[in-house]
Structure 1
């Protein structure tokens, strides 16, 4: 009799556990396949764009930047459920009288840190500083207002044509940045190069909004009316990019499945974007530039 009761209890418990297992929801796995423009609303991922990094020294502070850079900044085309909507066209570290190894750090506000007497112009090509700052009245973006920003637009929930590699859930993407080479005055035989420079993005701020059209002004975003957004779940507070030909991509932020919906803005005070030149560098007069490549990807092939 006791054995019969025990067996009955075991069978009942197994039935209960089986029922619980049956109603446990599956883990949501957001997906957008790379290399498939059709499934991303007309734009294949990864999506990349470029920023020019510039600094000038001595008598060449009035030189003009290259009007045809190798990696130009692209305007927002509004295409894609998931897209890299905005990156700064220029990060401007100003023009200065000379390089002093005792004060080797320069900010994207155009200043030589701890040596303001060395500053000639806030702009690396003379005149005004070109580092952009976000202007917005959206209260959801108050913590990134006035900062230099990068924007990811995630409208994957609007996707209606889905398959096993591209679904209608937000998130599951990564944003990274790398340098395209060292700071240099050009590509000719007489070009001067600064090797060993590093670019730091400190104190990353992050904001998100469902008012995508209000931020981008792009008609392609007018119909996005999702009133629920989720901030990307992993934002790197401080990151450093080596300005070298073999620069490796550095992660800026990631969004796991079901996060990152709407407009995601990652931003820095220009004073927190800092260019460090090697103290043993022999830097001649000139206007030095390189470019950064920002990339939005999913890794889904």
Structure 2
């Protein structure tokens, strides 16, 4: 009898557990607006993945003939002091002849020099690859507005550069000092190299150059491609009243320069020489340059 009672109790307990166990449910939606609270499924969102190399910023210039690129920053570094015996600095951030005076290769106390250099796989630009660079794009041979003063031919242009002002201490807000200034510093671009390529879009990555190869193939005029014949070194005087000289970097004669013309300098060939009598404080000093592409009627 006890065995029977025990068995009955176990069975009763099992039955009770079965009754109390929840019934399994599964999530489900049909993906319709009605079933999903007013918004249909599927839904999407986007992720952008990016990485960047070198100076790939562009100006807003357009036209058959345009100034496409100039050095945006020339970084002469951060240094302990100005030694009158070693007044020259290179655009890699070093003090020529006195590297022990170098604190940072970046004038803003950073560890990376901000003087950008060209990075390209175009073998026609090997002579300027790795250089500080300026680019003129000449697509005049594809011109469709030909008249007496605007011919469908490359060339007849000049690239020049001038200092807008001299070196002045700059505050964190960007304001230039009118008292803590250095007049008469010299900025030089030596051993100017040049190269020319027909792969304009490959160099610039600008949408306005995407059809260049097709436009050239369909051009009514054909011409023998010639490099720019006159390429110069340049030395500028940095004066705070803007009276410094303008230096000619390149001159393209009639028929020269079709495509992209790149002018380059090694960082070590771009130099800032301070006046030996200059007095400086613990400050960042800046000056500004303007590069000009001009054309004349042939």
TM-score (norm 1): 0.72
Counterpart for residue 213 of structure 1: 201
Taking only aligned residues, the RMSD between alpha carbons, in angstroms, comes to 1.9
Tell me the residue number matched to 2:236: 241
The match for 2:119 is 135
Which of the numbers 56, 75, 91 marks the counterpart of 1:92?
A: 75
| Cα distance per residue 1:135-156 (max 9 Å; x no partner) | 0000000010000000000000
Residues 67-109 of structure 1: CA deviation (Å, up to 9, x unaligned): xxxxxxx833362000000011100000001000000000000
Distance 1:188 1:275, change over 3 A: closer
d(CA) in 1 for partners of 2:194, 2:176: 40
May I ask how many residue pairs the two structures share in their alignment? 228
Counterparts in 2 of 1:182 and 1:297: CA distance versus 1, 3 Å? same
Query: Equivalent residue of 1:132, what SS?
Result: coil
CA distance in 2, matches of 1:119, 1:193: 21
User: CA 1:140–1:280 in 2, change beyond 3 Å: closer, same or farther?
Assistant: same
- Higher RCO (C-alpha 8 Å, min separation 6): 1
Please name the residue that 2:140 is paired with: 156
Map residues 1-301 of structure 1 onto 2, 5 A cutoff.
75-77=58-60, 79-127=62-110, 128-186=112-170, 191-225=179-213, 226=216, 229-236=225-232, 238-244=233-239, 245-300=242-297
8 Å CA contact 1:78, 1:220 repeated in 2: no
- Structure 2 distance, partners of 1:261, 1:153, is 8
The alpha carbon displacement at 1:196 in A equals 1.1
Change (3 A) 1:113 1:188: closer
Unmatched 5+ stretches in structure 2: 1-56, 218-223
- Measured against aligned partners, the alpha-carbon deviations of 1:221-279 in whole angstroms (never above 9, x if no partner) come to 1221248632111001x220111120121100000000011000000001100000011
Q: TM-score, normalised by structure 2?
A: 0.73
Residues 150 and 266 in structure 1, CA contact (< 8 A), matched pair in contact too: yes
Question: Larger Cα Rg: Structure 1 or Structure 2?
Answer: 2
2:164 and 2:58 mapped to 1: Cα distance?
19
Matched residue of 2:285: which SS? strand
